[in-house]
Structure 1
Amino acid sequence: MARFLLDIAPVRDIPAFRRLWIGSTLSMLGSQFTVIAISLEVFELTGSTFAVGMVGFFALVPLIIAGLYGGSIGDATDRRSAGLWTTFGLFIMTVALAAHAWLDIASVAVLYGIVALHSFAQGLNQPVRGAIVPRLVPMRQLPAANALFQLTMGSCLMVGPLLGALTVAGLGFRWAYTVDVLSFAVSLWAMYKLPPLPPIPGEDGATSKAGFRSVVEGFRFLATRPNLRMTFLLDLAAMIFAMPRALFPVLGASVLGGDQFTVGLLTAALAAGSVLAGVFSGTFIRINHHGRGCAAAVAAWAVCIMAFGAVILVASGGWGRDTAWPLVMSCLMLVAAGVMDSVSMLFRTTILQAATPDSLRGRLQGIFIVVVAGGPRLGDAAMGTGGQWLGPGFAALVGAVICFLLVLLLMRMFPGFMRYDARDPQP
């Protein structure tokens, strides 16, 4: 049975990774307190859902810009130092959020400004943090290490918003932001305790310099590496065409009945799938054919979203007032989709870390951050538009069919990806 469960060997055997994982877990949980608190505070100040939506805009643009630049920093400098300073920047922005609440600065403009700066610091930090992991963990344990991060991320996404909302309701915005400050203090300590991680020269014997010219070198490398490109294309196909979360509000209000709790239940179902995949990650971390596993997981994600769309269509057409069974089945389909998304992410992350030379890992992680952040945003726009024109059921079904067909097309265009073997990682 143990072979099917989460492999905790990286946490057990590698103290530096253990500290990094604990710090990252606590900071991810604390950040969910901040995410929900910001949304609730903006709505309390404005009464506008548009104003709440603008929080995402002010967060996305700095994240994309800084994510690319942060990757070049991670390749040009000692990653421990870069990680420490960027984590400290995040910590300062988190303190600023708490300070504005304790000082009763009721200003949406101030919140937007802090969100933008916080997101910029996050963009600098995440590529460096992602490039650190392969320097701490042996290649054979990378899948297990990534599965641990997937488990904690899914768990935080599932329980963090609920705990954050309860904290805001019971103690106010001040303490919700303060929880995030305390959690980031642990992350800062974990980064401080890392060993030195100086840059490793590239094939030409030289180390890169931080800057956007260095970022261009990362894109050039990606353009010549079909296996790495395939991981990005598969993710974009899934997130742009088959990410259903933009449909959750209208489904909660109409087809599935209920209220905001229904929307929260649908959102939690995706995160629950990620947790389930993490708990039973022993099932697939020993698979060596990561290319086949990744493509199969994205195709299975599309099938799950097709089934979700079919349930919505049936519920719209004839289940009458009984919304219990459609809601249960929708959640089950989303849990299954969450499992497949987590498996896909595990394989894609491992391929990116293993097949990229260390001298370029930071920059490729930066591009990865842009794709991970931007793809779902584009997917929200596409699915929201489709839901308006076709209705939510058809939008989910058609989008998932497009995703599935794109996976088949990409498999045909990049046959070498299906032969990718973790024992001999080739970019």
Structure 2
Amino acid sequence: MTQTDVAGQRRRRMVDLAPLRASPAFARLWVGGVVAGIGSQMSIVAVGLQIYEITESTFAVGLVGGIALLPMIIAGLWGGMLADVFDRRRLLIASSLIAWLSVLGLVALSTWDAVLSSGPAGTHAPVWPFYLVTTINAVAATISGATRGSVVGRILPPELISRATALNGIGFGTQLTVGPALAGVLAASIGLPWTFAVDAVLFTVGFLGVWMLPSLPRLGERVEAGWGQVRAGLGFLKRSPNIRMSFIVDIVAMTFGRPYVLFPALGATIVGGGALTVGALTAAGAVGTILVSLFSGPVAHIHRHGIAITRAITVFGGFAVLFGAGTLLMSVVEHDAAAGWSGIYWPALVLLGVAMAGMGASDEVSAIFRQTMIIKAAPDEMRGRLQGIFVVVVTGGPRIGDMYAGILATAVALWCPPLVGGFAIIGLIAVLSRLRRSRDGQRFRDYDDRHPVA
């Protein structure tokens, strides 16, 4: 890169679109992922609304993640290994089709519940089939996510990786903004069965990006699939303190700083608005994600990724404290809250929305540098397995967080999980960021992207 190029990159403030221009395969995968992801986020919100409608229990909503956790862990480890052994395009196609079939299952189950609840008895469908189908969907999505992450390093040059992860942030932010907001509107207007059906339609559009990928067979000598390869990946992670610590700090953030499972109860009580509030609060977090990604131009010349990650997660913890404190404050202020636009208590929605936007922004900063670290510091033959573990962390951690929030909210109050969790995040990150690595005495904070070491 010439001095002119470097100067131009440093002056850049908006997101860099170079990865989309450099690789048509990445562009198609990115666009398709955004479209399909909007539908997936719609279904995530709709499942929470569906189960809360059936059970009227925040704990039951939290169980969606808890039940899927162990299958997702196995799927991440096994799916990442498969991505390192077989053609990654074929694996993406197979896992995506399974995810699509599970969405069709949610359409059928939600329709069944709607028929029962509108009948003379006014009963609901049992909740366990929803847990089963969402677990199948989570397993398929975990395998797809691990495989997608391992593909990026094959279809883009190394110098564009950090800019590609920033673009992924825009895509994910768009999914989190449009999907939940659309789910809230559709659930409140045409019902939950049609909300799931829209996800199924959007999936077929997103699938084209996967179908049009080039063949991506394993590089190097052929190996046999099996638990031996899984153990080899875990052994590599054991010898990779920087990547390992990037997983640990994210688990801390996602376990103690996720208030999403509280949204249905907040929409029914403190904030009001019902499904509309659930969609609005979820979308607020995505707004922060998108804003960071839109102004991600400087990421190419930020090299102290360890410091960037730990500071971002500390800020994330601060906004979690704000969310908890805001919920506590609004719970003691007398006001009316009911379903629909007229039932929303707007001061509460604005305050909690600002906290969610701050959490989304700080989490995206952390995600950009964590993903870049994994791709650049690991060899291609290990990327699938590491991406599998990464997907387990970024999807399994939130599910532990859903369980934590559901249990604590049921035992104490809705304000308790984010308030206590936020302080826990700040304290734990302060300790973990200063731990010294056993191999060379360096800390995670010392990681330099110009000399990537796993």
TM-score scaled to structure 1, two decimals?
0.86
Of 167, 174, 187 in structure 1, the residue corresponding to residue 206 of structure 2 is 187
Whichever residue aligns with residue 272 of structure 2, its letter is: G
Distance in 1, matches of 2:15 and 2:111, equals 41
Of 284, 292, 295 in structure 1, the residue corresponding to residue 310 of structure 2 is 295
Whichever residue aligns with residue 129 of structure 1, its letter is: R
Deviates more, 1:216-225 or 1:153-162: 153-162
- Match for residue 158 of structure 1? 177
Encode CA deviations 1:142-162: one digit per residue, 9 max, x unaligned. 111111111121221122123
- Cα displacement (A) at 1:265: 3.5
Of 143, 162, 174 in structure 2, the residue corresponding to residue 143 of structure 1 is 162
Whichever residue aligns with residue 378 of structure 2, its letter is: T
Of 33, 41, 59 in structure 2, the residue corresponding to residue 32 of structure 1 is 41
State the Cα RMSD in Å: 3.2
- Match for residue 5 of structure 1? 14
| Unaligned residue ranges in structure 1 (runs of 5+) | none
- Cα displacement (A) at 1:24: 0.6
- Match for residue 228 of structure 2? 213
- Match for residue 422 of structure 1? 449
Whichever residue aligns with residue 130 of structure 1, its letter is: G
SS of match in other structure, 1:412:
coil
- Cα displacement (A) at 1:390: 5.9
Residues 417/122 of structure 1: CA separation in 2 closer, same or farther (3 Å cut)? same
SS of match in other structure, 1:265:
helix
Residues 16/34 of structure 1: CA separation in 2 closer, same or farther (3 Å cut)? same
Counterpart contact for 1:241–1:379, Cα < 8 Å: yes
Distance in 1, matches of 2:289 and 2:231, equals 33
Distance in 2, matches of 1:168 and 1:212, equals 43
- Match for residue 282 of structure 1? 297
- Match for residue 353 of structure 2? 331
Distance in 1, matches of 2:265 and 2:49, equals 20
- Cα displacement (A) at 1:97: 4.6
Counterpart contact for 1:23–1:183, Cα < 8 Å: no
- Match for residue 396 of structure 2? 374
Counterpart contact for 1:69–1:210, Cα < 8 Å: no
Whichever residue aligns with residue 279 of structure 1, its letter is: L
- Cα displacement (A) at 1:18: 0.5
Counterpart contact for 1:65–1:123, Cα < 8 Å: no
Counterpart contact for 1:67–1:369, Cα < 8 Å: yes
Residues 83/411 of structure 1: CA separation in 2 closer, same or farther (3 Å cut)? same
Distance in 1, matches of 2:15 and 2:346, equals 33
Distance in 1, matches of 2:419 and 2:52, equals 32
Distance in 2, matches of 1:52 and 1:397, equals 20
- Match for residue 229 of structure 1? 244
Distance in 2, matches of 1:10 and 1:131, equals 16
- Match for residue 362 of structure 2? 340
Encode CA deviations 1:82-137: one digit per residue, 9 max, x unaligned. 22222233334445555677899976565444333333322322211110011111
Residues 34/2 of structure 1: CA separation in 2 closer, same or farther (3 Å cut)? farther
Deviates more, 1:57-66 or 1:366-375: 57-66
- Cα displacement (A) at 1:376: 1.7
SS of match in other structure, 2:452:
coil
- Match for residue 339 of structure 2? none
Counterpart contact for 1:10–1:18, Cα < 8 Å: yes
- Cα displacement (A) at 1:237: 1.6
Whichever residue aligns with residue 98 of structure 2, its letter is: G
TM-score scaled to structure 2, two decimals?
0.81
- Cα displacement (A) at 1:63: 2.5
- Cα displacement (A) at 1:391: 4.8
Distance in 2, matches of 1:403 and 1:20, equals 34
Encode CA deviations 1:292-337: one digit per residue, 9 max, x unaligned. 11111111112222334444455566x6659755543332232112
- Match for residue 383 of structure 2? 361
Counterpart contact for 1:72–1:209, Cα < 8 Å: no
Whichever residue aligns with residue 151 of structure 2, its letter is: I
Encode CA deviations 1:337-388: one digit per residue, 9 max, x unaligned. 2100111111111111111111111111111111112212222333444445
Distance in 2, matches of 1:55 and 1:22, equals 28
SS of match in other structure, 1:423:
coil
SS of match in other structure, 2:433:
helix
- Match for residue 255 of structure 2? 240
Identical residues among aligned pairs (%): 37
Distance in 2, matches of 1:54 and 1:405, equals 27
Deviates more, 1:243-252 or 1:373-382: 243-252
Counterpart contact for 2:35–2:202, Cα < 8 Å: yes
Going by fraction, where is helix more abundant, 1 or 2?
Answer: 1
Residues paired across the two proteins, number: 420
- Cα displacement (A) at 1:399: 2.4
Counterpart contact for 1:72–1:215, Cα < 8 Å: yes
- Match for residue 258 of structure 1? 272
1:19 aligns with 2:46: no
Deviates more, 1:97-106 or 1:82-91: 97-106
Counterpart contact for 2:64–2:134, Cα < 8 Å: yes
Residues 330/112 of structure 1: CA separation in 2 closer, same or farther (3 Å cut)? closer
